[in-house]
Amino acid sequence: MIKNINLKRVKFPEKGKSWNKINSELDQIEENDIDWKNGRSPLYVFKGNEEASQVGEKAFMKFFHHNALGGKRVFHGVKKLEENIIDFGLDLFKAPSHSTGTITTGGSESILLAVKAAREKMKLKNKNFGLYNIVVPESAHPAFDKACCLMDIQIKRANLLSSYKVNTHHLESLVDKNTMMIVGSAPCFPHGVVDPIEDLAKISTKLDLWLHVDACVGGYILPFFKMIGRKISDFDLSLYGVSSLSADLHKFAFCPKPISTVFFKNNEDLERSKFVFDYWGSGQFETFTLSGTRAAGAVAGAWSVINNLGKSGYIEIAGKLSSMTDQYVSGIESIEHLLMVAKPEATIINYTSNTIDIFAVAEQLLKKKWLPGLTKRPKGIHSMMSMYHFPVLNDYINDLDEAVTYVSKKKDISSNLKAEY
């Protein structure tokens, strides 16, 4: 967050304060936060169950002073935890024996490393054609734009079908001799649907292209949705043609922030993602992440949460999340004027209206102390469901019904709200 330079600056404190005083001030500072603990926020926070949350918090604090950057030289235990976490992911995503991966601080970093690795591979076969490009769905996360901006790569966005999944024919038509990567989401953040990864894998195989699967949102819950019988199309590293996959542990693996993972089908591609600098007075500097220092607490927290829940725990949570999401959808669809943008395949819901201004409905929800997530194309209300939202299901549907009724009776009502994150 960038501080407004027009605001009065706070002075560096002259004297120290006790924890009691500091704690009191922290309580005051967060007084105006959205009541996320009681399900009033549509994103940013994720909960599986209370025990796992406590386990993650305790493990984080146990490794509070450790630095994951020093895993190779000092904190050998942290290195072991990271290796275990990568193995957990390789198993879950059905990776072949020659696959590998690395821990990152978030989905944006995971995506950036995948793009870097694809660029380095592209350099080996295409050195002279000009500006490289990647082709992504219109719904792909802006992290791809960030990566392309940093590496001077062009990004092309393919149209979506009426299902809000990528139009694979249009995506393929955008590929040219400078294309180094194509992308599919599992699921996409705006609409909660999984792109046809199997079809994209056929395109990547046919055209000898790198296919990255962005499973940052759903990667660690979709396999368990499949285990409980939810229909989820294949998206993982078992598919021939998938080169890399990103998945956030701090979302639907319910681990402490900040921690994500990126996996590579072939071990040599991880080598292409790393940063090496040898012309330095302290010797060779080498990292597999853009970040240097990283919170080892997040690593310990993730390892502990995964071990606390195990497959059986994740399957149980997946069942609850699936049922809860269906109940939200049923409640929303029962309200006149509202309809789903797309059928949710995981835990993201996105609904709209063809008869009233949905952003005006969002304004009424704000007045009732709900923070509505918003989408721009189409205009809609959006939420990533976790177990924080289960206890308030009926309250939300009732308040939404009242908001829609109010807006529908005001013929000319509209909103100036803007979809932004």
For 368, which DSSP code?
A: T
Query: Taking the CB of residue 151, how many other CB atoms lie within 10 A of it?
Result: 13
Q: So what's the pLDDT on residue 34?
A: 94
Q: So what's the pLDDT on residue 11?
A: 92
Q: So what's the pLDDT on residue 3?
A: 57
pLDDT single digits (tens) 111-120: 999 999 999 9
Region class of 266: left (phi > 0), else alpha (psi between -120 and 50), else beta: beta
Rounded Cα distance between 222 and 228, Å, is 10
Low-confidence spans in the chain with pLDDT less than 70 = 1-6, 127-129
The SS3 of residue 350 is: strand
Q: So what's the pLDDT on residue 70?
A: 79
Q: So what's the pLDDT on residue 188?
A: 96
Q: So what's the pLDDT on residue 272?
A: 86
Q: What is the average pLDDT score of the chain?
A: 94
Q: So what's the pLDDT on residue 36?
A: 96
Residue 184: strand pairing partners: 213
Distances (CA, A) of 140 to 80, 155, 223: 33, 11, 21
Q: So what's the pLDDT on residue 5?
A: 65
May I ask the CATH class of domain 311-409?
alpha beta
User: Any residues with CB less than 8 A from the CB of 113 and at least 6 apart, and which?
Assistant: 102, 104, 262, 273, 288, 289, 290
Q: So what's the pLDDT on residue 275?
A: 80
pLDDT single digits (tens) 5-57: 667 889 999 999 999 999 999 999 999 999 999 999 999 999 999 999 999 99
Q: So what's the pLDDT on residue 6?
A: 64
Whole-structure pTM value: 0.94
Domain-wise residue ranges, the chain: 57-306, 311-409
Bridge-based pairing of strands 348-352 and 339-340 is: antiparallel
Task: Provide the CATH number for the domain formed by 57-306 in this structure.
Answer: 3.40.640.10
pLDDT single digits (tens) 247-288: 999 999 999 999 999 999 999 998 888 888 878 877 777 788
For 265, which DSSP code?
A: S
Q: What percent of the chain shows pLDDT beyond 90?
A: 84
Q: So what's the pLDDT on residue 412?
A: 82
